[in-house]
Structure 1
Amino acid sequence: MLNRETLGQGPNLTLIHGWAADNGVWRTWVEAELAPHFTCHLIELPGFGDSPVIEAETVSHIRQRWRAAVIEALPPGQTALLGWSLGGLIAQDVLLHAPERISHLIGLATSPRFVQVEGWQHGVPPQLVADFMQALVVDMALLLKRFWMLQWQGNPGARRLMKQFVAEMKGRSLPKLTGLRQGLILLRTLDFRQQLNQITQPTLWLLGEKDPLIPVGWVEQLATLQPQAQVVVIPDAAHLPFRSHPQETAQAIIQFTV
């Protein structure tokens, strides 16, 4: 069973973190900005934070078992569902398979496909994920530090925030190797572009203008993929808008869901 923390009071809002993170990445922000408005449920993905590893080898098994574990961890009744980065891909998968449980979808610094492919240049090169896979078994701690720093690229004046963030992340227990590997497999393979039009719940894509991993230009495809979706772009934010622009990020979520 996945680890879930609950904070605050109000309508349900469930949050799913990204790769190489855990609930600690946004707990302080949630307490300050969201808990006064929502009952916030923070779910840790398999092999991250205090959630156990889920044994699965094939892409389909990893996807099915991660999705089932997250659905099991959802609060009773309906919830708004927010996913950041990898968590955003998982959130889309959860909604498509358990739509009756989800009232709103919020994709934070995420998209329907993370990796570039023919006809979709709005992501990271496949080689980056392949390099990460190799680096995992060579020096996991060094790779994680590199990734934590990468998320701040493009954010003006972020050096102080980046140093603080990296020091904070290094001070916590590292994710499990299996969780990291499975997460990379899902980042490489999940693709919901052709299923976005099946989503009937109100949807908000909340993006950083300077995000080095999720180029904001992908939203130009929404006119075809999901014309009813809303988009908010946070000026000067990179891949961690809830850390660099905490009030603006929270306000967009509150205005969308309340």
Structure 2
Amino acid sequence: MTSKLYLFISLFLILFNCKKENIAIKKGEIRINETYIKYGTGNFKRPYIIESKDNSEIYNLKRLVDSGYNLPHGNYKLVYASFYKMHNEIEFTINNNKKTLDIYPDSLDYSQIKDTKCCLLIDELKPKETLYIYSNLSGCFSNFNKDVKITKRDSNYYINTNYYKNKKLNAKQLRLLREFEFEIYHLDLSDFFCTTTEKYLFLNSTSKAFISKSNSSCWYYGFGHFMQSLKE
């Protein structure tokens, strides 16, 4: 009797396990598009991970590639780093065959610079004061220095460089200058390296207040973007 009961239990467990193994885990494909709002960067790839909100599973890029970008149905959170000192999160659900997400590595909330609590050096500039912007680019076979001088007169701003003498900044150029300083304050591409390093310094000639930053990623070119706008 005991042997028959043991045989029955064994057969039951075998059939149960077989049935369990035959249950297919439903999966859906995830596609992630990198879209650049301001700075086109070619094949630049910012790191990201996907965290399951239903369990403790974490998917990095290698694991996603190995899985063919297929995830079990469920709730997830994609976390990615931008150019700046922040991590962005996107919550999503996999419940069909394909899910597409757009991430914006160069996104930055420029609306913060309208807040009076966020004081840029260019905004603190008083009439007749000067803001110096120094840029140094050095590499294996090159070393370039660029100096820019911004002077405030009444409520207007004038720029002096090797090519421009007392050029009045229009609204768009002033906006791009403020965005450039704001980006430098937040810029963080320290996990990317190339053979070229660009250093930036904003200096108020009167108060000596300054911000500085080094960038060796070869991906950010805010200074060039602003200087290009001066041709308008």
TM-score w.r.t. structure 1 length? 0.22
Q: Which has the larger radius of gyration?
A: 2
Q: Is the helix fraction higher in 1 or 2?
A: 1
Query: If the length of structure 2 is used for normalisation, what is the TM-score?
Result: 0.24
Where relative contact order (Cα < 8 A, 6+ residues apart) is larger, the structure is: 1
